[in-house]
Amino acid sequence: MTNSIAIVTGCSSGIGLATAKMLAQNDFTVYACSRDPSAAINLQNLITHENLTNIHPTQLNVDNDESVKNTIKQIIENEEKLDVLVNNAGYGVIGKIEDLPVNEYSKQFQTDLFGPLRMIRAVLPQMKKQNSGRIINISSIAGQIGFPLTSPYICSKFALEGLSESLRHELYETNIITTIIEPGVVKTKFNQNMKFPQEYSSDENKAEAIKLKEQCEKIFDRTEISGIDVANVVLESLTTPNPRIRYQVGIEADELLKKKKQLSDEDFEGIVHKFFQDIMNIP
Ligand SMILES: NC(=O)c1ccc[n+]([C@@H]2O[C@H](COP(=O)([O-])OP(=O)(O)OC[C@H]3O[C@@H](n4cnc5c(N)ncnc54)[C@H](OP(=O)(O)O)[C@@H]3O)[C@@H](O)[C@H]2O)c1
């Protein structure tokens, strides 16, 4: 993959930033996308202080058709090829279903599902022309396991996994490979960037949403998994001729998803329910 051209979305922080750095350090030319590159200070610092001149900060909003189309067109014109797309941009919402209007689900899908879909549709013609390419979709354990109080995020990641499976079938006879990455908890700005309902149907629901955010803060503080760990897995999957369909990152992601395969739906639901209660009771 030396001298390969990669596009990574959501590079202003966290997993996207770490992935851009990791790929650049391994000789990829990286178009590191964020909504406002001038505000992506950590990305700018990386380029200046680590002399990673093969990172190109790029303005792109995955929610916007024109932004995606124009940016990808420009990159293909510059490079005349395109090897890797990492669909990473995303965010989460905390709240109960009765407190989240359908509009919140639409917004979540715009970024976490239609964002990757727009990106995939924009890069596919070039990848098909080359008959080569890698598409990495950053999903989550939330792409296979439903948790309470985060249903827009869960729905979008389940749908991203479905999209990835369909895409793999459609590209089965080609050299374009789609890979799904499923991290557990990763120390990034994700929790800080969580969105909340505008209004709550009860004080109990509000208290529960606020409590979950506080409890998540403790988990995010304690985790030893960082964006670099996810970036390592991205790199590993890209540098393997026959990557797996799915890669989990972090022990809890690995263990929970193994249990999902081993147990009945009913038994597994009990495990997830207890897992959530334990989170809400972390001292
Ligand atoms: N952290 C975790 O525990 C965890 C676990 C599993 C999966 N993930 C997934 O990992 C991915 C990256 O999240 P992170 O943990 O690195 O969180 P993060 O630090 O909050 O980074 C999210 C990135 O997505 C970008 N973004 C959000 N909406 C966007 C949009 N409409 N268009 C373009 N960029 C947008 C943000 O850019 P701006 O600066 O423009 O806002 C930011 O760069 C997400 O897909 C998330 O679901 C995270």
Buried b (16+ CB within 10 A) or exposed e, 209-247: beebeebbeeebeebebebbbbbebbbebbeeeebeebb
Atom of ligand 1 nearest to the CA of 11: 43
Please choose from 8, 9, 35 the residue to mutate so as to test ligand 1's pocket, defined by most ligand atoms within 8 A of CB: 35
Q: What percent of the chain has pLDDT over 70?
A: 99
Structural domain span for residue 240? 5-280
Instruction: Find the radius of gyration of the CA atoms of the chain.
Output: 19
Closest CA to ligand 1's atom 47: 90
Closest CA to ligand 1's atom 36: 10
Reply yes or no on whether 153 is catalytic.
Answer: yes
Q: What is the pLDDT of residue 42?
A: 94
Q: What is the pLDDT of residue 250?
A: 94
Closest CA to ligand 1's atom 44: 90
Structure tokens at 264: 């009945």
pTM of structure? 0.97
Domain count, the chain: 1
Q: What is the pLDDT of residue 1?
A: 67
Largest CA distance in the chain: 56
DSSP 185: S
Q: Please give the chain's pLDDT, 283 residues, in tens.
A: 668 999 999 999 999 999 999 999 999 999 999 999 998 999 999 999 999 999 999 999 999 999 999 999 999 999 999 999 999 999 999 999 999 999 999 999 999 999 999 999 999 999 999 999 999 999 999 999 999 999 999 999 999 999 999 999 999 999 999 999 999 999 999 999 999 999 999 999 999 999 999 999 999 999 999 999 999 999 999 999 999 999 999 988 999 999 999 999 999 999 999 999 999 999 9
CATH code where residue 264 lies: 3.40.50.720
DSSP 142: G
Buried b (16+ CB within 10 A) or exposed e, 78-106: eeebbbbbbbbbbbbbbbbeebbeeebbe
8 A C-beta contact, residue 256 and residue 141: yes
171: helix, coil or strand? coil
Q: In this structure, how many other beta carbons lie within 10 angstroms of the beta carbon of residue 248?
A: 22
Q: What is the pLDDT of residue 3?
A: 83
Residues paired with 34 in a beta bridge: 59
Q: Which member of 31, 153, 200, 247 is catalytic?
A: 153
Structure tokens at 57: 């900060």
Residues paired with 31 in a beta bridge: 7, 56
